[in-house]
Copies of this chain bind each other. A is one copy, B any other.
Amino acid sequence: MEVYLGIDVGGTNLKFGIVTKKGKLLKKEKYPTKDLRKTGDFINGFVTLIGEELKNHPEIKKVGIAVPGMISKNRQTTVFMANVPEFNDVALIPILQKKYPEISFFLENDANAAALGELHFAKNKVPKNFLFMTLGTGLGSAAILKGKIFKGGDGNAMEAGHIITSNGKTAEDNMGKHALIEMVKEKIKNGKKTRLTAKNLEAKDIIIAAMNNDPVAVNVFEYVGTVLGEALVSTIRILDIKTVFIGGGVSKAFYIVEKNMMKILHERLPNYYTDNLDIRLATLGNDAGIIGAAALCFKK
């Protein structure tokens, strides 16, 4: 059976997974990113980790790597990663190819890879054109156009998290995890009733509280809906794509986000768009990153 190695590089963890051609995740491992950081030679450590996987699984001939940032147009080099700066300007594919010449390596941005994962492995039939918005630490985004990752002019299209919204901030600065935490802290300071406490507050606490109808937490995700709606309005106006997949950790609270998001979309877009809007939750869940990375191996 043909299997692929999918690697999802994140600021917190490096996730490795063995994935079948049908998108089934057979095995999964996690390495804390900071452990690799401590060694002082991040790239070499990363290359070695891959080597160990390849040794343990000689059946692997193709490896897909998803990274959280910008990459070169030819998909050979990592360019800029805010959360994994060790990857800034690294000729990753040539390094790996030289070390493991018998293996094919594929590099892609993580949101793009996750969108490709949905394209190949979503539980329902997926159209050839869709937007993919991933609500996590930041606001990731990707587009599939004519069944392919949309790369734009120079390779790094779809940084929709950085587009401007109606309060002058970028979408991500309004609704990234850091912003959510700050919003709740501000509301606590202003005496709003909530079960949340400012100390050690994490985004996941806010998600759980929202799902338990905590008014402050619900309020925060309603606001996320407004911001996401605005980001989508501008993105849809530029790309004319009307199917949207919503993924990422925060999407658990999407049922709260949705109402304001739809309100903005319907207020701001004419019927040409809204008549055919199709908003869906992504289906691959927590493993979207690994499975998306493995989906890159379909390429050749």
A154 within 8 A of B: yes
Q: How far is the CA of A165 from the CA of B168 in the complex (A)?
A: 7
Q: Kindly list 14 other residue pairs between chains A and B, CB separation below 8 angstroms, not including A145-B152, A160-B238, A166-B167.
A: A70-B272, A80-B270, A151-B240, A153-B239, A154-B242, A156-B272, A157-B238, A159-B238, A162-B233, A163-B238, A164-B268, A234-B238, A235-B238, A238-B238
Q: Which 6 A-B pairs have the closest CB atoms?
A: A153-B241, A166-B168, A152-B240, A129-B153, A163-B234, A159-B237
A206 at the interface (CB under 8 A from B): no
Q: Report the separation of the CA atoms of residues A265 and B230 in the bound assembly, to the nearest whole angstrom.
A: 20
| Of B153, B156, B239, the contact of A152 (CB 8 Å cutoff) | B239
Docked CA distance A129–B151 (Å)? 12
The 8 A CB mask of A48-77 against B (1 = contact, 0 = none) is: 000000000000000000000010000000
User: What is the distance, in angstroms, from A280's C-beta to the closest C-beta of chain B?
Assistant: 15
Contacts of A240 in B (CB 8 A): 151-157, 159
